Amino acid sequence: MDLVNLFFQQLINGLSLGSLYALIAVGYTVVYGIVQLINFAHGEIFMIGAFGAYATWMVLGQPSDWSAPLSILVLLPVMIIGGIVASVAVALLTERWAYRPLRNAPRLAPLITAIGVSVFLQEFVRLFYGYIPGFPDAKSAIAFPSVPGISGATIQVGGVLIQMSAVFTLAALVVCWVFLWYYVNRTKTGRAMIATSQDPDTARLMGINVDKVIMAAFAVGAGLAAIAGVAHGLRYGNIDFKMGFLAGLKAFTAAVLGGIGNINGAVVGGLVLGVVESLAATYLGASAWKDVWAFVLLILVLVFRPQGLLGAKVVDRA
C-alpha cells in the first residue's frame, strides 16, 4: 500500500512540476512556430513574471494577514496580473528592440541576441531590483510572499498528500490550455497566427499585419510564463534572478520533446518531462540525478523521434 501511495505521490509531484514546464514551454513553441526563433531569453521572462508578482505584492503593502478565501480570490489574481503585465511588457520590448531589427538577418544572429538578452535581463534584475525604494536586494534569493490558503497548505486524498501549490499549477495549466485552444482556433488573431506560421509572405498579401501577430505570440508566451513564475514562487517559496536559467532549459527541452512549434506538444512534453524527472528521482537513484534522466530522455527522443512526440513544425491545432 505504501508503494502505491509513493507512486501516486510522485506522479502528482511530477504532474505539477510538468505543468510548470509546460506553461513555460508554450512560449518557446509559439514564438518558434511563427518566427523560427529559439527565444533563449524566455526563461528570464518567466523570472520577470515572478519578480513582477512580488513587486505587486509590495505595492499592495505586503498583505499577510488576509483570510484564505480573500487571498485566493483577490490577492493571488492581482499578483498574477502584475506578473503578467511585467512579463508581457518586457517580452514586447525585447521583441521590438532586440529581435525585430534582426527579422531578416541570418538565423544565428537573433539566436545569439537571445542569449545576450537573457544575460542582460538576469543582470538587470540582480543589480537594479534593490534600488526600488523599500524593495529587497535581488543579489540572493528573495522569499516569495506566502498566500494564505495556498503556501504550505496541503490536502489529503487517500494516502497521498497534495500541496495546494501543485493544485494551483495544474489548474493554471488546464485553464491556460483551454484559453489557448480557443484563442488559436476560434479567433481571427489565432487564425492569422496559424497562417503566418505556415507562410508569412502569403499572410502579408492577405492583409495580415505580421508584426502584430508576432507581438501577439510573444505576449501570449510571456503571459503564460508569468503564471508559471508565480506558480514557481508558491511551490519553492523563494525566487532569484537566475531561476529562469534551469527552468527555461527544462521548458525548452519539453518543447523539443513534444515537437517544437506544436502547442499540444509543449504541454504533453512538459508533463512527460515532469513525471519522468519525479519518478526517476524516486526509483532510479538519488534526486541529484533527476536532471540526468530528463536530458537522457531528450537525447533518446531526438535520436529515435527527432520531430518530437507529437511532431509538426508549425503552430498547429492547439
Can you give the binding site for another protein, defined by CB under 8 A? 183, 186-192, 194-195, 198-199, 201-210, 216, 314, 316
Closest to 102 in 3D by CA, of 29, 192, 37, 47: 37
Give 188 or 288: the residue with its C-beta nearer to another protein: 188
Give 133 or 207: the residue with its C-beta nearer to another protein: 207
Give 100 or 242: the residue with its C-beta nearer to another protein: 100
CB of 213 to another protein, least distance (A): 10
Residue 238: helix, strand or coil by DSSP?
strand
CB of 267 to another protein, least distance (A): 19
Give 240 or 316: the residue with its C-beta nearer to another protein: 316
Give 169 or 196: the residue with its C-beta nearer to another protein: 196
Show the 3-state SS of the chain: CHHHHHHHHHHHHHHHHHHHHHHHHHHHHHHHHHHCCCCCCHHHHHHHHHHHHHHHHHHCCCCCCCCHHHHHHHHHHHHHHHHHHHHHHHHHHHHHHHHHHHCCCCCHHHHHHHHHHHHHHHHHHHHHHHHCCCCCCCCCCEECCCCCCCCCCEEEECCEEEEHHHHHHHHHHHHHHHHHHHHHHHCHHHHHHHHHHHCHHHHHHCCCCHHHHHHHHHHHHHHHHHHHHHHHHHHHCEECCCHHHHHHHHHHHHHHHHCCCCHHHHHHHHHHHHHHHHHHHHHCCCHHHHHHHHHHHHHHHHHHCCCCCCCCCCCCCC
CB of 187 to another protein, least distance (A): 4
Contact 168, 149 (CB under 8 A): no
CB of 194 to another protein, least distance (A): 6
CB of 5 to another protein, least distance (A): 41
Contact 235, 163 (CB under 8 A): yes
Q: Which amino acid is at 235?
A: R
Give 233 or 259: the residue with its C-beta nearer to another protein: 259
CB of 202 to another protein, least distance (A): 5
Give 146 or 189: the residue with its C-beta nearer to another protein: 189
CB of 191 to another protein, least distance (A): 5
CB of 188 to another protein, least distance (A): 6
Give 47 or 194: the residue with its C-beta nearer to another protein: 194
